[in-house]
Amino acid sequence: MGQQEKVATSLAGAVGEEISASLAPVDAELERRYPGDPGTRQPVHTVYVPGDVFAADTVRSWGDRALAALDEHAPDAASFAAVLGLTDDLAEPVYSRVRAKLEREPIEDLRVDFEDGYGNRSDAEEDEAAARAARLIAEAYRQGTAAPYMGIRMKCMEAPVRARGIRTLDVFLSGLMEAGGLPDGLVLTLPKVTYPEQVTAMVRLLEAFEKARGLEPGRIGFEIQIETSQSILAADGTAAVARMIQAAESRATGLHYGTFDYSACLGVSAAYQASDHPAADHAKAVMQVAAAGTGVRVSDGSTNVLPVGPTEKVHDAWRLHFGLTRRALARAYYQGWDMHPGHIPTRYAAVFAFYREGFEQAAARLARYANRTGGDVMDEPATAKALSGYLLRGLDCGALDIGEVARLTGLTRADLEVFSAPRRGDLTASAQ
């Protein structure tokens, strides 16, 4: 090797050191506020079941009812594809995977609802239902029949129902502890949040429970449900949802959009309350920007058009739900609510089609990036992160198999996880 050419500089080393010292607080703030995605599985949907309806067989029952809907209204791949407009090459892979999913894991995330879906009951009745939910969920995890994620939606922190919500949460969590401890898949939802102070109150409540039960501080997280205009735009003109994430003190796991409460809050007529309304798009865009980089996931809402009745009506509802789900996926809302077993086939159909139709192109681009080979697109680390995240989400939900991903990318799941969670500095450098 030849002698390295000497380059000219003008700044003393102390200059860089002083700048680094001055930015040290900013570096720490970036790490604290924007740790990045946690790298855990995000469910593709959340199913809400009222507290008085939830039973030991709810997960299996929803799967069986969804399979029955397919048998009655789309008994084979061709008929299902015709309803949803799937291409011939997607018809069989999507249909077979949907049926297999409904048999193996029909629900990915289940919330036993003690809020709108449950209503106001006597204290004794709600106590009993909350204790029963804890007992059934604990049994499901012990027996291996639980959904990957399960928990409750309590009543909100507004004055009229605050005490009831706190008690229900206490009864539920205490029941889990008495049954052996908190399951890894535990998820809690705090609805109708309007002020960051309500999020702070939830944090203090969970801190008190952890202390009372000798749990590790920060063990219990929760989702924040965005259902009011004030949660998007505060009275002072700031984005209140961003302040809510900070008020959660690293306990927030998700922001869930409430389609109908939010639309009603803005005065949208009932006939136009939908997740693709411009008001919904605005709210979710603000949520998405506020959550970016924080590790908090964003979830879309639901549709209230149920796939029930004669086949023609079921097909219309399926097309609507499929289209809304695909629209959300394209906008990077990878989770949504499902309110009826008949929605599950089209939820998985939309999700599986989304990942399978772009799989080969994404795999080829990531393989070229990993091997530093040429192509018609010049990708950078940020794009590699998006490509690997896309493939990992497809694997998690069952749309893709690790064998086919490895065959086209030459990468293991561990490799994909490295690409999907690069160091912060890697995202600022171009791929060479």
Is the model more confident about 103 or about 382?
103
Supply the pLDDT for residue 5.
81
Residue 7 lies in a domain: no
Identity of the highest mean pLDDT range in 246-260, 377-391, 410-424:
246-260
Same domain, yes or no: 344 and 273: yes
pLDDT mean over 185-214: 98
pLDDT mean over 299-303: 96
Same domain, yes or no: 319 and 399: no
Structure tokens at 22: 């001055």
Same domain, yes or no: 122 and 152: yes
Residue that finishes a domain, picked among 329, 355, 381: 355
Structure tokens at 18: 């002083």
Residue 407 lies in a domain: yes
Q: How far apart are CA 399 and CA 355, in angstroms?
A: 6
Give me the domain span that covers residue 410: 359-428
CB within 8 Å of 262: residues ≥ 6 apart: 226, 227, 228, 229, 279, 280, 283, 301
pLDDT at residue 329 greater than cutoff 90: yes
Same domain, yes or no: 340 and 368: no
Residue 258 lies in a domain: yes
pLDDT band, very low/low/confident/very high, at 13 (cuts 50, 70, 90): confident
Residue that finishes a domain, picked among 355, 383, 416: 355
Same domain, yes or no: 165 and 53: yes
Supply the pLDDT for residue 370.
87
Residue 145 lies in a domain: yes
Supply the pLDDT for residue 172.
98
Supply the pLDDT for residue 397.
96
Same domain, yes or no: 363 and 328: no
Supply the pLDDT for residue 427.
41
pLDDT tens digits, 355-382: 999 999 999 999 988 887 555 555 578 8
pLDDT tens digits, 121-156: 999 999 999 999 999 999 999 999 999 999 999 999
Strand ranges (E), 128-194:
149-153, 186-190
pLDDT mean over 180-194: 97
pLDDT at residue 219 greater than cutoff 60: yes
pLDDT at residue 339 greater than cutoff 90: yes
pLDDT mean over 55-63: 97
Same domain, yes or no: 303 and 369: no
Residue that finishes a domain, picked among 338, 355, 372: 355
Which CATH number do you get for residue 188?
3.20.20.60
DSSP string, 377-432: S---HHHHHHHHHHHHHHHHHTSS-HHHHHHHH---HHHHHHHHS--GGGGGS---
Helix axes 77-84, 311-330, angle to 10 degrees: 70
H-assigned helices in 292-358: 311-330, 344-357
Residue 29 lies in a domain: no
Same domain, yes or no: 118 and 245: yes
Cβ density class 313-344: b for 16+ within 10 Å, e for less: ebbebbebbbbbbbebbeeebbbbbbbbbbbb
The phi, psi pair for 276, rounded to 5°, reads -105, 10
Same domain, yes or no: 87 and 228: yes
Same domain, yes or no: 257 and 382: no
pLDDT at residue 46 greater than cutoff 70: yes
Same domain, yes or no: 266 and 144: yes
The phi, psi pair for 222, rounded to 5°, reads -160, 160
Residue-level length of the chain? 432
Supply the pLDDT for residue 422.
61
pLDDT, mean over the chain: 94
Same domain, yes or no: 103 and 241: yes
Structure tokens at 257: 């959009």
pLDDT band, very low/low/confident/very high, at 4 (cuts 50, 70, 90): confident
Residue 36 lies in a domain: no
Residue 210 lies in a domain: yes
Residue 181 lies in a domain: yes
Domain count, the chain: 2
- Look-up of token digits 């990036």: 369
pLDDT at residue 424 greater than cutoff 90: no
Supply the pLDDT for residue 64.
98
pLDDT tens digits, 225-267: 999 999 999 999 999 999 999 999 999 999 999 999 999 999 9
